[in-house]
Amino acid sequence: MSRSYTPGLKILAQTKIIKKRQLPMKGTVHLKIGDIVKPDEVVASTEIPGNVQMVNVANQLNVEPENVPECMLVELDESISKGQIIAESKGIFGLFKSQLKSPIDGTLANVSEITGQAILSEPPIPVAVDAYTSGKITEIEDQEGVTIETEGVLVQGILGIGGENRGILEVVTTSPNDELTAEMIQEKHKGKVIVGGSFLTKDTFEHARKIGVAGIVSGGFDYTDLSKILGYSLGVAITGSENIGPSLIITEGFGKIGMAERTYELLSANAGKFAAINGSTQIRAGVIRPEIIIPSERENGEIRDYEEADLAITEGSLIRVIRAPYFGRVGKVKSLPPELAKMESETMVRVAEIEFEDGTIEIIPRANLEMILT
């Protein structure tokens, strides 16, 4: 039987979830293998170098660069405070001395006899990485981070903005095809992750932001609205560092598109539970999709994950079309003809014969299909 591999987003009711939590640079890991963690618990921390300021000592003291080191009143790596006199010229016969005050609190990092500059470093900035999800520490990378394993729901979206957020999950529309409107979002949704249906507008998003919603999951969103929220056009889908309030996860794509029923049902079935979400997306080699994780309260042993073979479309597979003209429609693979077929665009492609839910049959390029994993 013919097979065809397609990209598929994971929509899993009970799976093993493995999360690496890493520091941006070496530091201290606070836990050990086997420790049970809660989402807010700090697993590792470090200090990243503080901002630096360069001060042109030679200019300010009116001395030659090679004379700067002897004018310095503090040693390298010595602490300095704002306003402290850190350099002084010799003056003429001890008179008319020029002085230089430190513009910052920090340390003296370097002095150059060639450029006549001093580099002052602000105090280091502490950085802490939390667990993000509850679970068990299964691996420690010395001074770098930990690996946490848990079980639970894993739903991947197609695109997100905003980084990590968390809260209790609540479904606020009545069907996957409803639009999420501002009226549906109330004070009680503050700090929660809310699930909509097919669409929301920029105004609805702004309303959710005002309320203080932690995250929004929707089927579709307009690209132009996304540009307005970000303040720029998203040129490449590499996101996660935006500071926009709630994290926004789109499950289907741009436009008004009903959320896949399976996704909607799975999220509905888990309403009221804690969810950790991350809008970070990277659509490049090494793809990262946004995610919603709902860790199980306890392990129940029935893990379902998918392997490469599960992503193979075969006759009878349930699929969704991911490009116009049949974008969003769900159907079953009737056959996978081996020969290339000519599309209306005259492109010669590998195709699948798809029977849609209404019984109509169409020929669709295999590249435009997405497997629905059940």
Partner 1 sequence: MDNKINTEDIKVILATDCGSTTTKAILIQFVDGAYRLTHRGEAPTTVEAPFEDVTRGVLNAIMELEELSGRKILNDESIISPTQDESGVDIYISTSSAGGGLQMMVGGVVKSMTGESAQRAALGAGAIVMDVLASNDGRLYHEKVQRIRQLRPDMILLSGGIDGGTVTHVVELAEVLEAANPKPRLGINYKLPVIYAGNNKAAEPVRKRLGEITDLITVANIRPTLEEENLQPSRDKIHDLFMEHVMAQAPGYKKLMSWTDVPIMPTPGAVGEIIKKIAETEKIEVVGVDIGGATTDVFSVFQGQFNRTVSANLGMSYSVCNVLAESGFNNVARWVPFDMDETDLTNRIGNKMIRPTTIPQSLEALIIEQAIAREALRLSFEQHKEFAVQLKGVQTERTISDAFEQTSSGETLVNLMDLDMLVGSGGVLSHAPRRHQAARMLIDAFLPEGITQIAVDSIFMMPQLGILSTIHPKAAVEVFEKDCLIRLGTCIAPVGKAKSDQVMLDYEFIFPDERIGGELMFGDLKLIPAQFEPVRVRLTPGKGLDIGAGKNEVLETKVFGGVVGIILDGRGRQPFTLTDDTDFRVQSLMKWSEETNEYPQLEAA
Binding site for partner 1 (CB under 8 A): 7, 25-26, 48-49, 51-54, 65, 109-110, 112, 114-115, 117, 119, 121, 144, 158-159, 222-224, 226, 232-237, 253-255, 283-286, 308, 322-325, 327, 343-349, 364-365, 367-368, 370
CB of 244 to partner 1, least distance (A): 17
* Residue 294 near residue 153, CB atoms below 8 Å: yes
Radius of gyration of the chain (CA): 28
Rounded-to-integer distance, Cα 374 and Cα 361, Å: 22
Q: How far is CA 201 from CA 75, 280, 324, in A?
A: 58, 21, 22
233 versus 360: smaller Cβ distance to partner 1: 233
CB of 285 to partner 1, least distance (A): 4
270 versus 280: smaller Cβ distance to partner 1: 280
CB of 76 to partner 1, least distance (A): 12
110 versus 360: smaller Cβ distance to partner 1: 110
108 versus 267: smaller Cβ distance to partner 1: 108
Instruction: Kindly give, in sequence order, each residue whose CB lies less than 8 Å from that of residue 197, ignoring residues fewer than 6 positions away.
Output: 173, 175, 176, 177, 178, 179, 180, 218, 219, 258, 259, 264
CB of 352 to partner 1, least distance (A): 12
154 versus 185: smaller Cβ distance to partner 1: 154
34 versus 235: smaller Cβ distance to partner 1: 235
72 versus 349: smaller Cβ distance to partner 1: 349
Q: How far is CA 35 from CA 41, 127, 161, 180, 202, in A?
A: 11, 21, 31, 40, 42
CB of 111 to partner 1, least distance (A): 10
CB of 234 to partner 1, least distance (A): 6
Give the single-character DSSP code of 23: -
Instruction: Report which of 110, 98, 100, 114 is spatially closest to residue 53, judged by C-alpha positions.
Output: 110
Q: Three-state SS string across 64-117, please?
A: CHHHHHHHECCCCCCEECCCCEEEECCCECCECCCEEECCCCEEEEEECCCCCE
CB of 281 to partner 1, least distance (A): 8
